[in-house]
Structure 1
């Protein structure tokens, strides 16, 4: 019996197999349109995992791994693991050629697909909506974003020539770059009291998994040396959820930009907050070590955009207001009268 894996089965192999082949199936597209309530999410906060949906493109392929399995107990465990999916027999095309460069014939594999009429099929959503759901969900098998990263890492490492636009766009959208600070135990109480006051307007402390870039040049400690101790670790983050009373929500870009442009508070102009954040993110990305196979274990193998799309568009819109509105103000000031 052959099993085709296109999600967690490509890296989480907890069963015995006799052969493993990398290749693809045709006629489908891989999409993060299936809810996970028992592995990468919970019933109250479902995660998003991949399923297959029929494609209208005759060239459509989904790359993954097929395993030949003969162990009846292993097959039974797999059926339990994929119990929320339907079994479909598909032709699998191996990317491995024989010693005589002959392409082997297709193999019939069992493939698990989430039924579109099932209760866990979420369907399509905006990129930002899916990325937000993935980045905040967590279940017994770990965080949802770790599932996304591992799938993208497999594609990048094993199939670098294959472009999976849906997967890599989600990976970029689900990543939020920033900095983590380790607080000394003897200063923890004082620092938390300060931060609780600073982030009092609708923020709550939540645990989240942090993915460090151990060799980033902006890393620092009191003695100047940063040593990789573990791949990822949990941090506390101040998070303003949609449920808090100060959450404003989405709005047209020009409306958000004008709001930021004109607001000033005790800490300064709102636009300076935006500009400082953009400059910090730009510096993080500019100095990010180039990805390669010799990086420390904790280094993500991705190169982020200089700014995420939301920040980049807002920065441009506010700078445009700076330019157009300031000129308008200057033009409205009457010219001084000069007496001969």
Structure 2
């Protein structure tokens, strides 16, 4: 592993974990403190439309988030940053920032990540599982169906041994079919 100055890291907490879309040297489990994963962003492009918004994940203030950090070569940094800006900043609902994350080894690295802008009109805030399910079910955008996004995220979280009770409740009812009501844990 190169020195900290040579390394460029990107933190993924949602679809970046299972579809990063950029070349990287390695991927490692990591935890970001001060933010948590939340289905809190109304999607008008990737997983919904302005007429039928879907919901996607954002990093919202408080708590912590277990995700994946990707190490990128210094040479690839400009290309990766351009790619991530095109992917994540479509409507500017996310703020590009660098945050300290902890690897499972206990080592800390600084990683580029995108946190939700709570002042943006797409910020949905903390939704009940029922409200989130109603928004997700049937929404579709340029990147495909919203339910596919939630189900793929939950599946990948399970693979990593990460349990997100709020997403699990929504995914369970998406699997059960339309018209189901969501019961169970509410968002943190």
The alignment's TM-score, normalised by the length of structure 1, stands at 0.47
Partner of 1:116: 118
Matched pairs, number: 170
Q: Deviations over 1:140-189 (max 9, x none)?
A: 10100000011100111122xx33222212212333348xxxxxxxxxxx
Query: Which among 124, 127, 139 is matched to residue 125 of structure 1?
Result: 127
- Using the TM superposition, give the Cα deviation of residue 104 of structure 1 relative to its aligned residue in structure 2, in angstroms: 4.2
Alignment partner for residue 137 of structure 1, among 118, 136, 139?
A: 139
In the TM superposition, what is the alpha-carbon distance from 1:308 to its structure 2 partner?
6.0
Q: Could you give the per-residue CA deviations for residues 76-120 of structure 1, whole angstroms, max 9, x where no partner exists?
A: 11111111210122211112xxxxxxx342111111012000121
Question: Which structure has greater strand proportion?
Answer: 2
Give the distance between the partners of 2:95 and 2:15, measured in 1 at CA: 16
Give the corresponding residue for 2:96: 87
Q: What is the alpha-carbon distance in structure 1 between the residues aligned to residue 182 and residue 113 of structure 2?
A: 36
| Aligned-pair CA distance for 1:50 | 0.7
The residue number in structure 2 matching 1:76 is 82
Q: CA RMSD in A?
A: 2.0
* Deviation per residue, 1:235-277 (Å, 9 max, x gap): xxxx9xxxxxxxxxxxxxxxxxxxxxxxxxxxxxxxxxxxxxx
Aligned partner of 2:9 in structure 1 is 2
- 1:245 alignment partner in structure 2: none
Report the Cα offset of residue 32 of structure 1: 0.5
Larger radius of gyration: 1
CA contact (8 A) 2:31 2:103 kept: yes
Mapping of residues 77-226 of structure 1, within 5 Å: 77-83=83-89, 84=92, 85-95=94-104, 103-159=105-161, 162-177=162-177
> 2:44 aligned with 1:41, yes or no?
no
Matched, 1:67 2:70: yes
Shift of 1:133: 1.1
Query: Within 2, Cα distance between the matches of 1:62 and 1:124?
Result: 16
Separation in structure 2 between the aligned mates of residue 124 and residue 25 of structure 1, nearest angstrom: 19
Where does the alignment leave 5 or more consecutive residues of structure 2 unmatched?
1-7, 184-188
Deviation at 1:309, TM superposition (A): 6.2
CA deviation map 1:271-305 (0-9, x unaligned): xxxxxxxxxxxxxxxxxxxxxxxxxxxxxxxxxxx
SS in 2 for 1:27: strand
| Structure with the higher helix share, 1 or 2 | 1
